[in-house]
Amino acid sequence: MDRYRVKPGMRVDLSEWDTKDRSAFDGDKSAGKQAAKDGNLRLEALQELLYAEGKQRVLVVLQAMDTGGKDGVIRHVFDGVNPQGVKVAGFKVPSRIERAHDYLWRVHQKTPGKGEIAIFNRSHYEDVLVVRVHNLVPDAVWSRRYDHINAFERMLADEGTVILKFFLHISKEEQRERLQARLDEPAKRWKFSLGDLDERKLWDDYVAVYEDVLSKTSTEWAPWYVVPADRKWYRNLVIGTVLTEVLEGLDMQHPEFEGDPESIVVV
C-alpha cells in the first residue's frame, strides 16, 4: 500500500491520483469485498491484542470531500472490533466552550489512550481547510497552523501514538452521483443538506487546499495516504490493509499471566 502514501516533502497534485485506481488488487469487486471481509477478521484480532496489551495507541484520521465515505469506512473497515477499545470522534463546528480555547484543545482530549484506537471523522485539519476556503480567519493565522499540527502530531508520536491519516479521494462526478442517491433514496435523504450543494460549488478551492495539507503535513511520524475512493470496496480494502500491516508491525504481545495456570482449578 506504499503506493498511496504521500512521501514527506512531496508536492501533491490530486489530478495525478486516480480516484478509480484498483492496481493493488487483481480480483473483481466480489473478490475484493471478500478480501476486505477476511482482512476485517484479522484486524479484529489485532485490535483485541492491542487492547489486551494496553501499551500502544493508534490514531486514525479520516478526511474527505462531502460524500467521500468517512462513515462507510468506520462502518465497514471496523466492523466487529471491540467497542471497548475503539472510539470515534467527530469534529463539527466548534462549540462556544471550544472556541474559548486554542483550536487543538478539543482535539487533544479525543486522542487515544493506551490500548485504544481512536478514529477521527474529520479532525484538526478542518482548521486549515474550511477556515481557509471560507476565509474565517486571516491568512497569517491559518498559514502557521501547518507547523502547529506537525508539532502536535510529533508530540503524540513521541509519546507512543501511531498515526495514520487517510484522504478519501473521490471524483467530482462520483460526488454528484452520491448526492443524487441521497435525494433519490428515502432512507438516505436525511443525510442530504442544501449546504452540500454550496460546498460543492467550492470544489476547486477545496482541492487546492487539500493539496497544500497533504504536501505540508505528511511526515514520517504521521503519514497521509491518498486512497482511491470512487470504488467503495477498494477504499475499504486499502484502508483495512494499511491498518492491518501497521498493527502487525507493532510486535504486540499478550500480557503474561500472573501465577501458574496449571495450579488453578475453577470449581
For residues 220-249, give the mean pLDDT.
97
Nearest to 215 by CA among 259, 263, 149: 149
Q: Rounded to 10 degrees, what is the CA torsion of 141, 88, 46, 57?
A: 40
> Which structural domains are found in the chain, ordered by start?
2-250 (3.40.50.300)
Lowest mean pLDDT among 166-170, 232-236, 263-267: 263-267
pLDDT number for residue 266: 85
pLDDT number for residue 267: 84
User: Taking a C-beta distance cutoff of 8 angstroms, is the pair 157, 182 a contact?
Assistant: no
Q: What pTM value is reported for the model?
A: 0.94
Q: Residue 98's Cα: distance from chain center in Å?
A: 22
pLDDT number for residue 230: 98
User: Taking a C-beta distance cutoff of 8 angstroms, is the pair 20, 228 a contact?
Assistant: yes
Is the predicted pLDDT of residue 21 greater than 90, yes or no?
yes
For residues 59-80, give the mean pLDDT.
95
Sheet containing strand 161-169, strands side by side:
86-90, 117-121, 57-64, 161-169, 224-228
pLDDT tier for residue 103 given thresholds of 50, 70 and 90: very high
Is the predicted pLDDT of residue 119 greater than 90, yes or no?
yes
